Structure 1
Amino acid sequence: MDPILVVGSVAVDEVVRLQAPLRIGSHNAGMDAGARIGGGAANTAMALARAGDSVSVVSAVGEDEAGALLLDQLARLGVDLALVDRHAGETTRSLIMLEEAGERTIVNRARAPVALPADLASRPASAFYVRSADPLLTEVIQERSKSCPVLAHVPPMTADFRPAQVLVASESDLDPAFLHDPWQGGRRIAGETLEWMVLTRGERGAAAFDGKQVIEVGAPNVSVIDSTGAGDVFAAGLLHGLARGYAMGQCLETAVSWGSASVGYEGTMPPHTFPA
């Protein structure tokens, strides 16, 4: 099977453990919990690799110690890094404020620009995932949709910006108008290419809309340790199914299973193999 291509960030997550729920506009007590691998592309790729999928990341890291460590961790999991650009700038960094209940708040501190390969639209792939807001990807998505399943993350919400077969978003990132009719909201972003609009709903699971039906999958009861990257792992589950030609119902069940499992461990590097 051709690799799954994942476009997005590979990052250093600097974690602060809060002693109480985050209070906006107030003083918050916390403890430094160190740094770990993160970023949307890395989180998704690691989950896919743990499931035995061939996966290639399109991203960038700096020519610094942090970048070298991130690439070493991904390589150890079997992620193909041939399309990761090394440049003289700083590696992407994010501050993760993690509450005792597992909820997280993310502050992006630095971002390494990703140079898109010239042949990205034509490289062999069993599925293609866009976790980047680069406007140059619009044409790539449009071309890729002719040859393999394309999953794109929203936001961004710009009209005709994501001409993919499947869009995925978190309910918490969307306004009431979009949630009133997710299918039409997705069509505005993807156009006629759209086949499914998928929404994650936290502890309520997820739902997929195709304009005629709604498929809903509930989430299992799990003990939440760390919700960081759960949406990225959910996307990995969708990609795992799309690459194999699964029906959306089975894709959604896989995605919910993987995303739910991910909140039960600390960090975003899976400690175990995800079920196929």
Structure 2
Amino acid sequence: MNTNRTGKAVIVIGHINHDRIWHLTEPLRAGGRITWRSREARLGGGGYFTARRLLDFGHHVRILSNLMSDSHGQEAIAALAEDGFDTSLITQRQGETDFADILLDPTGERTILSNERRLARTFALAQPVSADAFYINGPHLCETIRQSLNAAPLVVSQLPLRDGEPRPADVIVGSKADMPGKSIEAIWRDAQAIAGTRLRHLVMTDGPDPTSVFDGETESSIPVPMHVTVRDTIGAGDTFSGALINGLLNGAKITEAALDASRSTAEWLLNREAMFAEKSNK
């Protein structure tokens, strides 16, 4: 991890999940009897992975999220603080932690089983806050958060997939896999309905295929500079968002930031795969 703390102040608004990952021995199939070889529990979620990458780049990261008040939530807050995150904006709520079960097949394809109550969690903020950049990964925002975003110099938001409420954003990030058959122009209209007139760029990843950067008129195709094959791609898209924000904070053009984010995410996947292989061989 980069221990340099001279970076920018970034507030990440998103969920911190407790993921229970089941490593399957074969792909899922209807009516099948599937075996698994191992399972593990670890922190995850869109907010966590993006915040983690920004921290790795040396930025001061405050996480605006919520965790339950049980032992799992308490342990998560302690672990985040020990890693170097500012946890002062995390709300603790009464109740038990809901784990998200992630079924991971040998090809890296994942299936996520998530309690609908957990998806409906909202983010609380008592008074407006400021930062050099904000990142949002969640559909529901309170008015105090929107006030904070209005005053921020840079706002990047994940494109909500379900009933996303409006929020001012300069850049919207998404995945073409989540919107099969939809044109970039149609996705831009969806993004503009969320971000309003402040929207400058739409960035859509497409797995191993080129990333599209669209400004409402011109589409730039950004090639993937490094193709990797790994067994675990969980968090790759969120890690891409963190690297993209890092590039923008460093003054890169959006196309340059997207190219570097793609390369950086591939390297992150390879490093994590190597760490998992080392652990399994011990």
For Structure 1 versus Structure 2, the TM-score category normalised by the shorter chain is: 0.7 to 0.9
Residue matched to 1:106: 112
Q: Deviations over 1:120-174 (max 9, x none)?
A: 4xx221111111111436x734752443211111223658724311111111111
Residue matched to 1:19: 25
Gapped regions of structure 2 (runs ≥ 5): 1-6, 277-282
Structure 1: which amino acid aligns with 2:127?
D
Shift of 1:64: 1.7
Tell me how far apart the structure 1 counterparts of residues 79 and 164 of structure 2 sit (CA, whole Å): 37
Residue matched to 1:204: 209
Residue matched to 2:265: 259
Q: Let me know the Cα RMSD of the aligned residues.
A: 2.6
Tell me, yes or no, if structure 1 residue 95 matches structure 2 residue 101.
Answer: yes
User: Matched residues, percent identical?
Assistant: 29
Q: Which moved more, 1:145-154 or 1:162-171?
A: 145-154
Tell me how far apart the structure 2 counterparts of residues 159 and 65 of structure 1 sit (CA, whole Å): 31
Residues 155 and 173 of structure 1 are in contact (CA less than 8 Å); yes or no, is this contact kept in structure 2?
no
Shift of 1:31: 3.5
Q: Summarize the Cα distance change of 1:47–1:2 in structure 2 as closer, same or farther, 3 Å threshold.
A: closer
Tell me how far apart the structure 2 counterparts of residues 190 and 164 of structure 1 sit (CA, whole Å): 5
Matches within 5 A, 1:101-250: 101-109=107-115, 111=118, 113-120=121-128, 123-136=129-142, 140-141=145-146, 144-156=149-161, 161-179=166-184, 181-219=186-224, 220-250=226-256
Q: Deviations over 1:183-206 (max 9, x none)?
A: 334223322221001101111142
Query: What SS does structure 2 have at the residue aligned with 1:253?
Result: helix
Residues 4 and 55 of structure 1 are in contact (CA less than 8 Å); yes or no, is this contact kept in structure 2?
yes
Q: Summarize the Cα distance change of 1:165–1:157 in structure 2 as closer, same or farther, 3 Å threshold.
A: farther
Query: What SS does structure 1 have at the residue aligned with 2:182?
Result: helix
Q: Summarize the Cα distance change of 1:230–1:154 in structure 2 as closer, same or farther, 3 Å threshold.
A: same
TM-score (ref. length: structure 2): 0.84
Residues 233 and 269 of structure 2 are in contact (CA less than 8 Å); yes or no, is this contact kept in structure 1?
yes
Residue matched to 2:4: none
Shift of 1:95: 0.6
Tell me how far apart the structure 2 counterparts of residues 256 and 95 of structure 1 sit (CA, whole Å): 27
Q: Deviations over 1:84-141 (max 9, x none)?
A: 1122222342111111122211111362834421224xx221111111111436x734
Query: What SS does structure 2 have at the residue aligned with 1:216?
Result: strand
Shift of 1:264: 2.4
Aligned residue among 59, 67, 70 for 1:61: 67
Residues 151 and 164 of structure 1 are in contact (CA less than 8 Å); yes or no, is this contact kept in structure 2?
yes
Residues 139 and 164 of structure 2 are in contact (CA less than 8 Å); yes or no, is this contact kept in structure 1?
no
Query: What SS does structure 2 have at the residue aligned with 1:111?
Result: helix
Residues 50 and 77 of structure 1 are in contact (CA less than 8 Å); yes or no, is this contact kept in structure 2?
no
Shift of 1:251: 1.6
Residue matched to 1:72: 78
Structure 2: which amino acid aligns with 1:231?
G
Structure 1: which amino acid aligns with 2:252?
Y
Q: Deviations over 1:179-226 (max 9, x none)?
A: 454333422332222100110111114221002322322221213131
Shift of 1:40: 1.1
Residue matched to 1:34: 40
Q: Which moved more, 1:143-152 or 1:196-205?
A: 143-152
Structure 1: which amino acid aligns with 2:114?
N
Shift of 1:41: 0.9
TM-score (ref. length: structure 1): 0.85
Q: Which moved more, 1:193-202 or 1:148-157?
A: 148-157
Residue matched to 1:274: none
